[in-house]
Structure 1
């Protein structure tokens, strides 16, 4: 399945392939404030449709996750990091997918505040 997503202003647009089987809600200081619901895919399944210049990056804590957001409207579209197996992964914010029913997937809760 292929999905299209974007930030609020459209400065970041992307396509991502895969089957959404769940969303992850994390309670770390970053995720709790932005209320992201994350879906993890191999990084090569994510294709940016707009210029990389529109995307800003924020690093915090251990500086291993590149939190990617729109430089204009501030919406967090996705994150990038290495998975436990060393493969490049993307964490897609399900709330940025177009025509996607958030109630269609179970939500797993992760205690990022304690890690």
Structure 2
């Protein structure tokens, strides 16, 4: 399935392709503050409909994940990283997707504080 998504103001727009069967929440210092629900998919399944330069980037700690956010409205629609296998992966903030019933999705709690 293809999902449409964006930041709040619409400057960052994208499509994400895959089966959304659950979400991940994380208790690390940034995720606990953002409150995002993440869905991990291969990077080639994220199709930006706006310019990549429209998103600002924030990294911290080991600088492994590029947290993408809108410099206009401040929303964090996705983050990017290379996983342990060397594959490019994105974490879509499913709260930025259209027409998704968040309450119906099972949520896995990841202990990012211990990483």
Is the 1:54–1:72 Cα contact (8 Å) retained in structure 2?
no
Paired residue secondary structure (1:80): strand
| 1:45 counterpart residue number | 45
Please list every run of at least 4 consecutive aligned residues from structure 1 whose deviation after the TM superposition is greater than 2 angstroms: none
Find out whether 1:24 has 2:16 as its counterpart: no
Distance 1:21 1:83 in 2: 21
Pairs aligned (count): 115
C-alpha RMSD of matched pairs (Å):
0.7
Q: Which moved more, 1:35-44 or 1:77-86?
A: 77-86
Q: TM-score, normalised by structure 2?
A: 0.97
Distance 1:17 1:52 in 2: 18
Is the 1:57–1:67 Cα contact (8 Å) retained in structure 2?
yes
Q: 1:66-85, aligned counterparts within 5 Å?
A: 66-85=66-85
Unaligned runs of 5+ in 1: none
Unaligned runs of 5+ in 2: none
